[in-house]
Amino acid sequence: VVKVVRETDAVCTLGLEVRDWSGHLAGQHVDVRLTAPDGYQAQRSYSIASGPEDEAVELTVERLVDGEVSPYLVHELHEGDELELRGPIGGYFVWRPELGGPVQLIAGGSGVVPLRSILRHWSAAGSDAPMRLLYSARGWEDVIFREELSRLGSAVQFTLTRSWPEGWTGGRGRIDAEVLSEAAFPPSDDPLVYVCGPTPMVESVAGALVTGGHRPERIRTERFGATGG
């Protein structure tokens, strides 16, 4: 661990220097394994937040209340500590410039993490594929990568589901058919869509996309589930 950045109350980004790292694709994850002194092991998957071109490999981890691994990663880990990783892993929830666009990214909560990797890759590769992010979070203070995403201007649309700052002009409420029709590429553009977030959010958004006329084979999902990470 070479760097620890606190993103929100419950989320931090770990910058890692990984021995023999082969490089990763935007959207991939790693498995992190922790071993207790008594030999007990716990393993969880975490999305890579950095772009392939970035120097350090970054994992952005949300602390889950009853989690076994995430509270340790978010609160106990310090610069200089070591972690056991397997990866990079996954090829399905990956974007490469040759896949083209337009690309519609849709995130719920910490589901923004692999999508940030995709945005960084898109920007570093100088891709001319149109790309947009629609990101729902509970409140503005829960938005991860706030400053970085705000710099992307109209390519990023936020919608807050529980509370909003005074004078908030962004979206309010969950991502539903209406929000999609206002903020996402329409089915007529046949966008490649990446949806990542908690399982119920991903299922409701994917359902709304298909009902709205998007082709299922153009929609890639990554559900976080409730696995007690």
Partner 1 sequence: MMQAVDGNAIAGELFCHFGTEMTEVSGRCTNCGATGPVGRLLVYRSGPGAVARCQECGAVTIVLVQIRGELRVDTGGYEFSHR
Residues at the site binding partner 1, with contacts judged by CB under 8 A: 29, 31, 45, 86-87, 89-93, 199-200, 217, 220-227
Query: Which residues does 64 contact at the CB level (< 8 Å), separation at least 6?
Result: 70, 71, 228, 229
Find the shortest distance in angstroms from Cβ 43 to partner 1.
8
8 vs 47, which CB is nearer to partner 1? 47
18 three-state secondary structure:
coil
* Cis peptide bond prior to 88, omega within 30° of 0: yes
36 vs 126, which CB is nearer to partner 1? 36
Find the shortest distance in angstroms from Cβ 121 to partner 1.
17
Find the shortest distance in angstroms from Cβ 64 to partner 1.
13
Find the shortest distance in angstroms from Cβ 228 to partner 1.
10
DSSP strand pairing (192-197 vs 103-108): parallel
4 vs 25, which CB is nearer to partner 1? 25
139-176 b/e with 16+ CB inside 10 Å = b? eeebbbbeeebeeeeeebbbbbbeebeeeeeebeebbe
51 vs 90, which CB is nearer to partner 1? 90
